[in-house]
Amino acid sequence: MFAASMRRAACILPVLLFAACYTIEEPPCPPIVIPENTGECSEFCDCDYDNFTNTPLRLTRLEIDEPEELASLLNVMWNTDILNNVVNVVFLVTDFEPGTAAAFDSITFEVGPGWRSPHEPLAIPPEEGQSSPSVVDSYCMLEGLSVEMKAKPYHGNQCVFKSIEAASLNFHTGPLERPIVCAPELTPANSIPIKGMKTRFGLHEDCRGFSDGHLEGCIAVKDANKICMCLVTGQCEFEHVDVGDYPEDDLTSYCKDVCGFKWISLGQSIKAFGLEPTCLTQDGEEGYRIQGFIDGEAVPDSFNPVQSDNCSKK
């Protein structure tokens, strides 16, 4: 959370989070320059309306600041995996309404986890100074895991948009048959279910990316207790370990039982820091609030629009 001294009063909006009795203040608006005129989109955002639909925007940054105690652990892991084409979250533009006082009156996205071709090896790092897409043939969205998200202009800004309804996203890493998260008892399996997800972002001038985005959501306590993580991507084998009988709250033994020796419990990690639930899901379940910052870039020349379990369908 940003310190109060860093907030700009004109951009602070108290919001009620996920029907809970917890109130947070959003970070300041992205630094978008708003020109005096409010004419056609090209006069202030220079968007190409003819080619905006079906534009895929892939996350290039996911940096959480809450829970602060887990930031150093998760940010290094997730952003390394984003760079190495292991974590691939796509915002696909499916529809929009041209705007008058804003670049768009609304933008509709299909948002979900993805994978890429080539399918192997698990991590494909780019050469130093190159972008992640430079070493892949194409990205795709994983079948059955995407959700619709509609965004409208935020606070009258011409290029800043905010989702108008909370969505639930199942954050899956890796292809479906080789997940990086082990959660076999959740539905869908091996994903991190983020409930009540809301986003805000500032489109780039050419509408081919976004930056200074803000994302928030709620992970139910019961779900966190069923999620096991591997601290070194690809280095944890899936194997049943006979640990005998253990109490339900022994999450270390649970992860060994259902995943293997090297897996650690997300729920146990959160509890080790003494963190209490900080949000409620739409279903009224206690959870842990997760929020942070996102950037994204268009990958129109390396995107396969056909969803599949590993980008194998054309």
For residue 289, the enclosing domain spans 14-21+44-302
Q: Let me know if residue 82 belongs to a domain.
A: yes
* pTM over the 0.75 mark: yes
| 216 vs 213: CA distance, rounded Å | 10
Question: Where are the alpha helices (H) located in the chain, listed in sequence order?
Answer: 49-52, 68-83, 221-224, 251-258, 266-272
Per-residue confidence (pLDDT) for residue 191, from 0 to 100:
93
Number of domains in the chain: 1
Q: Of the ranges 12-26, 103-117, 292-306, which one carries the lowest mean pLDDT score?
A: 12-26
Residue range 141-189, pLDDT digits in tens: 999 999 999 999 887 667 889 999 999 999 998 888 888 899 999 999 9
8 A C-beta contact, residue 204 and residue 52:
no
Does residue 36 sit in helix, strand or coil? coil
Q: Let me know if residue 281 belongs to a domain.
A: yes
Place of tokens 């993805």: 114
More confident: 78 or 280: 280
pLDDT of 11 > 50? The answer is no
Q: Let me know if residue 26 belongs to a domain.
A: no
pLDDT of 302 > 50? The answer is yes
Q: Let me know if residue 127 belongs to a domain.
A: yes
Per-residue confidence (pLDDT) for residue 26, from 0 to 100:
54
Phi-psi region of 120 (alpha: psi -120 to 50; beta: other; left: phi over 0): beta
Q: Provide mean pLDDT across the span 77-95.
A: 93
More confident: 63 or 18: 63
Q: Provide mean pLDDT across the span 222-233.
A: 89
Q: Let me know if residue 149 belongs to a domain.
A: yes
Q: Let me know if residue 33 belongs to a domain.
A: no
Q: Provide mean pLDDT across the span 36-61.
A: 71
Q: Provide mean pLDDT across the span 43-60.
A: 84
Q: Which DSSP letter does residue 42 get?
A: G
Give the chain's end-to-end CA distance (angstroms, integer): 43
Q: Let me know if residue 309 belongs to a domain.
A: no
Q: Provide mean pLDDT across the span 210-227.
A: 94
Q: Residue 19: pLDDT band by 50, 70, 90 thresholds? A: very low
| 139 vs 147: CA distance, rounded Å | 17
Q: Residue 197: pLDDT band by 50, 70, 90 thresholds? A: very high
| 255 vs 228: CA distance, rounded Å | 6
Q: Provide mean pLDDT across the span 206-233.
A: 91
pLDDT of 2 > 60? The answer is no
More confident: 4 or 105: 105
Q: Let me know if residue 174 belongs to a domain.
A: yes
Q: Provide mean pLDDT across the span 75-90.
A: 92
More confident: 127 or 311: 127
